[in-house]
Structure 1
Amino acid sequence: MIRGLGAALLVTVLAAWLAVVEVLWLPLRVLGVPVPVSVVAAVVGNLLLVGLAVRLTGSRPAAVLPAVVWLVIAVAASLRRPEGDLLLVGGGVLGVFSMAFLLGGVVAAAFAVGKVLAAPRDGVRPARTGSGTGGAR
């Protein structure tokens, strides 16, 4: 029980840290050319963290934690702060990267969570389907 809670906390903190780093990487440029490192990191990170949460905790509902934390931080970065700061902008090349970052991260997280939740539970066989007229082999 304690091990599972600790693992869930660890993966959730890792997801939060990764989301913040990805948002800060969005304006990254190499020799003046924008580099979409954040988009790739969002997709790969969300795919891996959801699976890691399930493996470490053994709980399928715990798979949702990293995805939700990532989404909350990414959406918070798209809102203007009282000081006027805005991390995810909507115009130009950076706006395209921001939209790709949000879309790619959300789709990857949804896919990973769906894959985990749709997987059969340990020890439970999936229901047999078909007409039943097939021959025994």
Structure 2
Amino acid sequence: MSGPLRLVLGALGAVLAAGWLALVEVFWLPLRVAGVLVPLSVLVAVVGNYLLVVGALRLTGSRAVAVLPAVVWLVVAVGATMRRPEGDLVAVGGGGLGAVTLAFLGLGVLAAAVAVGRVLATPRGPVVPRT
């Protein structure tokens, strides 16, 4: 596969994967098993955000493309905290669910920021040791 085509397909795949994963995580926020709140979305957000950013860099070799999954995830996750015109609110902020939502947003952003920091700090091309 040629360079530009690989870059475009990699960017498209990273954006679609990040958007889909963010939607799934947001709808998993109120997940309960036997009446107990299970913060599965927090774990998936941390692992998913890190792996999507690092994977996008490995797939495309582009730092700009590697940052896209973090930006898309953030847009979807923050968008879920805003009330829709109909009055619906997906990510709520009260009680135990509010704590899970806060952990989801905070730790998800932290994982994405760490991954983006590592990607941006990665030296370009072969590293020549100093003598």
Short-chain TM bin? over 0.9
Larger radius of gyration: 1
Cα distance in structure 2, aligned partners of 1:4 and 1:110? 22
Structure 1, 71-80 or 3-12: larger mean CA deviation: 3-12
Cα distance in structure 1, aligned partners of 2:89 and 2:104? 15
Q: Structure 1 residue 125: deviation in Å? A: 3.4
Structure 2 residue aligned with 1:102:
105
Task: Specify every segment of 5 or more residues in structure 2 that has no aligned partner in the other structure, as ranges.
Answer: none
Q: Structure 1 residue 24: deviation in Å? A: 0.2
Q: Structure 1 residue 124: deviation in Å? A: 3.9
TM-score, normalized by length of structure 1? 0.90
Give the residue type in structure 2 aligned to 1:8.
A
Matched, 1:115 2:118: yes
Matched, 1:30 2:33: yes
Cα distance in structure 2, aligned partners of 1:125 and 1:111? 25
Structure 1 residue aligned with 2:63:
60
Aligned residue pairs, count: 128
Q: CA RMSD in A?
A: 1.2
TM-score, normalized by length of structure 2? 0.94
Structure 2 residue aligned with 1:90:
93
Larger helix proportion, structure 1 or 2?
Answer: 2
Q: Structure 1 residue 37: deviation in Å? A: 0.2
Cα distance in structure 1, aligned partners of 2:123 and 2:9? 25
Q: Which runs of 4+ in 1 moved over 3 A?
A: none
Structure 2 residue aligned with 1:6:
9
